[in-house]
Amino acid sequence: MKFSWRVLVLWTLPALLVGFFFWQGAFSNGIGEIGQNTANSRMTYGRFLEYLDANRVTTVDFYEGGRTAIVEAVDPELDNRTQKVRVELPPNAPELIDKLKEKGVNFDAHPVRNDGAIWGLLGNLIFPVLLIAGLFLLFRRSSNLPGGPGQAMNFGKSKARFQMEAKTGVMFDDVAGIEEAKEELQEVVTFLKQPEKFTAVGARIPKGVLLVGPPGTGKTLLAKAIAGEAAVPFFSISGSEFVEMFVGVGASRVRDLFKKAKENAPCIIFIDEIDAVGRQRGAGIGGGNDEREQTLNQLLTEMDGFEGNTGIIIIAATNRPDVLDAALLRPGRFDRQVIVDAPDIKGRLEVLQVHARNKKLDESVSLETIARRTPGFTGADLANLLNEAAILTARRRKEAITLTEIDDAVDRVVAGMEGTPLVDNKSKRLIAYHEIGHALVGTLLKDHDPVQKVTLVPRGQAQGLTWFTPNEEQGLTTRGQLKARITGALGGRAAEDVIFGDAEVTTGAGNDLQQVTGMARQMVTRFGMSDLGPLSLESQSGEVFLGRDWMSRSDYSEAIASRIDAQVRTIVEECYDNAKQMMRENRSVMDRLVDLLVEKETIDGEEFRQIVAEYTPVPDKPQYTPIL
């Protein structure tokens, strides 16, 4: 907890004031009423009686209801000078007054003052007042914090960020690689700017647009571009901000959001990660009338209920459309579903050109080469790639980004940070045979993707890596390609078995075996590529925690399950035998490649194919379609 002088003073001052008032009250009730007649010395009651009998007492003043007296007496020890002394009187001494009258002593009784009651009342009230004031200041201070106690009355208010004219700094020219999605959304912008152009022919403005795609493909960037292009009021909120721990808060926030949107129509509402609130209702664990479902019901009503929302366009983004409720996806709520997928080679080139504007690239760097080497990369991946290359350039104290930094950045993004190079000769050669086994099978099989690079430089958890360049232009995968991939993945294990024997097989093929088993099982259960025939035997029910059914059932009998396992085993064993046969037949080229890899630690794909071609014919691989 951070120390605060303000809090210390806030809690110390009341204590001091209360102590002062209590002391003041006590003083007023007791000693304070003696006033200026307070004596500096005391005298016992017995000695006071002796002085009275000896006619040495001249004046007596009674205080505190007769409990205390200030006595003026002649003291023979002080040359018969008169002094004032204080005498504590006993509670029962009625004969004292008679005795004073008998001796002719002047006496007077001073009444008790009532100021003590006032000070006591103030002392009892001041602490609660200060306590309430301190708590008020603390609550007022904490009310400025998000979710603080002072925010309790604002739970039902929408947390959407609102801008009358969204100055996001992003336009459609800044979004590259997803031209189809931009064209779909360009119409939405035109609807907002010139609605009469469409209403003249009977077209109505779409109510909702759902952006669907993997993470990093640019869904949120597209929403920012729409806001920047349309120049209309823009509401931005995340799906998770609707739901709180209090029941009914999410629905209240939805109502408040659409109320503000209607006041500022035409406008755009952007809901990011809508799957947080729009999952299927009435299924899975937690299904029923819970807070999330109430929020979804209110959202459905606002989007397409009895009251229209003319001029309000809702743009939502998600990477899990499979878990969304069917009522949310129907026309009338989300009229369009725009797929924002990973860009192709032409799109990647456009994305690289956008992100390379503020990067200093060497003249030898070709963005087209980078685009060819990065199949499957999203826009966020490409931006991170160039940023990592720039960081490596600055670390190496170079003036411009070269192809070396680009290659290292690709390896780092895909496989992880570079580790310490291997020193042990035996382990290094074993890993070299493993990686050469992958690359050799991938080179000799016609249906396999071409080898891009083989390296012994450790990255992440891998001690060595073999890179393949998939042909992304082919959308479908044949049975021969799947079996070639399985054989290539088993090439490393086959090389270890053939070269070092069964006893020296390592755990390096663990990840390869997982991929092999998954591909073989999909061939049997999903794609009908086995002796079981063209049957889809895989259950399509998803996880129960993602809104799927609670009860899962099997789509086949135990006998079919046994046959599936047998077919998977047959496919894997056949591919493994083929890989071992290729290792035996190409032992000489494999030994030469291993010696070269141990020496250089990295072999380029083109050099690898040239060496293999000296020993055996290399089949032609599918080539890339040129960029137009």
Residues with active-site annotation: 435
| Count of CB atoms situated within 10 Å of the CB of 103 | 13
Q: What are 60's two structure tokens?
A: 């007596």
Q: What is the DSSP letter of 169?
A: S
CA–CA separation, 181 and 186 (whole Å) = 8
Q: Which residues contact 91 (CB under 8 A, 6 or more apart)?
A: 67
Phi first, then psi: give them for residue 617, nearest 5 degrees.
-65, 140
Nearest partner of 338 among 236, 208, 233, judged by Cα:
208
CA–CA separation, 277 and 294 (whole Å) = 10
Phi first, then psi: give them for residue 149, nearest 5 degrees.
-60, -30
The answer to whether 582 and 444 have CB atoms below 8 angstroms apart is yes
Nearest partner of 170 among 258, 236, 262, judged by Cα:
236
Helices (H), 466-618: 479-489, 491-500, 510-525, 558-585, 587-600, 605-613
| Count of CB atoms situated within 10 Å of the CB of 346 | 17
Tell me, what amino acid is at 417? Answer: M
Quote the Cα angle for 296-298-301, to 5°. Answer: 110
Phi first, then psi: give them for residue 56, nearest 5 degrees.
-100, -10
Q: Which residues contact 157 (CB under 8 A, 6 or more apart)?
A: 252, 253, 256
The answer to whether 119 and 21 have CB atoms below 8 angstroms apart is yes
Q: What 3-state DSSP class applies to 438?
A: helix
- Which residue matches tokens 């685009």? 371
CA–CA separation, 333 and 206 (whole Å) = 8
Q: What are 188's two structure tokens?
A: 């939405």
Tell me, what amino acid is at 209? Answer: V
